[in-house]
Structure 1
Amino acid sequence: MDIADLRRQLDQVDRDLVRLAAERQRIVAEIGRSKRGTGRPLRDFKREKEVLDNVRGHARDAGIDPELAAGLMELLIAASLTRQEQDTVRALSQGEGKRALVVGGNGRMGGWFARFLDAQGYAVEIADPAGAPAGYAHRARWDDGALDHDLIVVATPLRAASRILATLADRRPPGVVFDLGSIKTPLRDSLAALNAAGVRVASVHPMFGPSANVLAGRHVILVDVGNRDAVETARGLFASTTATTIEMDLDEHDRLVASVLGLSHALNIVFVAALAASGVDPERLKAVSSTTFGAQVAIAESVARENPHLYFEIQSLNAHNGPALAALDEAMHTLLAAVRAGDEAGFVELMRRGREYLHAPPE
């Protein structure tokens, strides 16, 4: 057979793969409806393991790489979870007959939350001077009109959020109010003022970005600032998803975020800045990329694309960032000193401490 015939065969196989994937999604939707009827959770880890183990066995029988087959199946499982989660959120319609105002809803995370609430049946209005996506009610100024919504979500940069929350304390809206700030220290006084004014207020931090489609394995932090009803309302928004909600106080949140966001962001900003200062052509580096370098560059690229003003707020406005950045500075100087002095024992000790902290066995 010539190459044209072989390509036609390959095209037919590709069409069959897509058709079978669509059929799998149809069955997944039926399973999701069954789960909703019985109250079973969306995600079944035992069943996922069975599916992957079976696929690896089928792959060995077919003479192909079991991990290739498992990787394809993991993509299909993720798509299945996305489908079931989205269908469940829509079916339960927790926001039916309710209204939500998303301040900053034309931004990336604000837009994600607007779509999330819309899927739950909320009538969503977006307050944003930059406009709103098609299909949403819109006001340019958040305080230009009534604030009688069931939910008011503040999804703006931190300094703006602090001012908006403080003004809401004066307006005393009847609904639940919460912010989506990445750090909470700059919002402490405004959140306290809302609580003192009798407003049902909480603070929420989705630990994922606006590109998230499925919430399986994702975390949402809930911060209680004095009103349990607001915390439970916020928790309820994620009850029909596979996200895990974690509750903590404001100071613990910012202490942990100093490492989870502050330290990891700083490390990647410095990494890519060092590459830029090296003067080496990035394409040349990619041509000889190792596994570790490729993974690090992928993370650093995603950080480099983010809003630098937001990232500066995360670094500069968190009262708990100092120790994390100081530890990064000390570790960097320890490594440099060991390398420059030929101190192999010191270098090994630095890696040992990290390995033990992560409970990672040595190779």
Structure 2
Amino acid sequence: MGLSFSKVGIVGGTGGMGEWFANFLEKQGYDVYPVGRSTELTPKMMARLCDVVVISVPIPVTIQMIQTIGPFVKERRLLMDLTSIKQKPLEAMLAHTDAEVVGVHPLFGPVENAEGQRVAICQGRGNSGLKWVKKVFDTGKLKILEMEPKEHDRLMGLIQGVNHFSTLGLAHCIRSSGFSIDEIEKCSTSTFKRRLDRIYKLLEQPADLFGSLLIDNPESLNYIRLYRDVLNEMIPIIENKDHDAFQKLFYSLRGE
């Protein structure tokens, strides 16, 4: 017999993706209980009340929150998270609760309309919770990607780790170049202006958000090292003015 999930509590539900998920669920008719620093409702109180408990807090405190709240989420209920790393949070949830467990990573930031966006889902324990999570996102017309947590973290090590690392690296290079931002912007091509916009957008965010993506996912360092290695392979081509080697590399990257 399937379980009933009607009351959803969200730790971190007053900001960021937790707030987005609260609004997303409310539009589908669920009773949502957000918990934040300024709410009277505490995580433990909410865990006793709700059928579904969602952890949506910064990565560095996710495991601690799971350890604190997990024992209060009883069997025949659901404990899930919304973090960008999946293996360690899933292991912690499985270790600290008897409830059903699902790991979720929305592959986007807070948006007004998430239709067509992708969400990664990793099964932990039980089938009813997994079915409910899939139904919720299917109702919202999101694209569901089911995967193993290890596979997820390896992919995010490349997709998020190298992506953000290279953006920060370009920002560091610009600052070290000796040119002022005004000089750079005045002469920027449209392509480079888009790169600058990405840098500005990233640097507007809290540092610990990107620090966690780079440092707390152990797979990120592997792909950052790979990125360093391929750059070191490419630099001699430029140093040696080797047009033939450059064309060979260029066309190989096009799959030719």
TM over 0.5: yes
User: How many angstroms does 1:271 deviate by?
Assistant: 1.1
Label 1:143 to 1:192 Cα distance change in 2 as closer, same or farther (>3 A): same
**Do structure 1's residue 198 and structure 2's residue 101 form an aligned pair?**
no
- CA drift of 1:337 comes to 2.1
Range with bigger deviation, 278-287 or 220-229:
278-287
Q: Is the 8 A contact 1:154 1:178 kept in 2?
A: yes
Q: RMSD in angstroms over aligned alpha carbons? A: 2.1
For 1:35-184, list aligned pairs within 5 A: 98-129=6-37, 131=38, 138-139=39-40, 141-144=42-45, 147-173=48-74, 174-184=76-86
Could you say which residue in structure 2 is the equivalent of 1:267? 166
1:306 is aligned with what amino acid?
A: Q
Shift in CA distance, 349/107, structure 1 to aligned 2, threshold 3 Å? farther
- Could you tell me which amino acid in structure 2 is paired with residue 239 of structure 1? D
Residue 103 of structure 1 and its aligned partner are, at CA, apart by 0.3
Question: What is the Cα deviation at residue 107 of structure 1?
Answer: 2.4
Separation in 1 of the partners of 2:143 and 2:211? 28
| Change beyond 3 A, Cα 1:280–1:161 | same
Q: Kindly name which structure, 1 or 2, has the bigger radius of gyration based on alpha carbons.
A: 1
- Any idea what SS the aligned residue of 1:201 has? strand
Q: 2:250 aligns with which of 351, 355, 361?
A: 351
The answer to whether the Cα contact below 8 Å between 1:216 and 1:243 also exists between their aligned partners in 2 is yes
8 Å Cα contact 2:70/2:79 also seen in 1: no
| Larger RCO of the pair (alpha carbons < 8 Å, separation 6+) | 2
Partner Cα separation in structure 2 for residue 355 and residue 307 of structure 1: 36
Q: Which amino acid aligns with 2:108?
A: F
Find the counterpart in structure 2 of residue 253 from structure 1: 152
Letter in 1 for 2:208: H
Identity %: 22
Question: Counterparts of 2:95 and 2:64 in 1: how far apart (Å)?
Answer: 11
User: Residue 332 of structure 1 aligns with which residue?
Assistant: 231
How do 1:212-223 residues align onto structure 2 when only pairs under 5 Å count?
212-223=111-122
1:308, distance to aligned residue in structure 2 (A):
1.4
Task: Give the letter aligned to residue 334 of structure 1.
Answer: E
Alpha-carbon separation, structure 2, partners of 1:332 and 1:192:
40
TM-score computed with the length of structure 2 as normaliser: 0.89
Q: Which runs of 5+ in 1 are unaligned?
A: 1-96, 132-137
Q: Any idea what the Cα deviations from partners look like across 1:4-29, whole Å, max 9, x if unmatched?
A: xxxxxxxxxxxxxxxxxxxxxxxxxx
Cα distance, 1:290 vs structure 2: 1.2
CA displacement at 1:221 relative to structure 2: 0.5
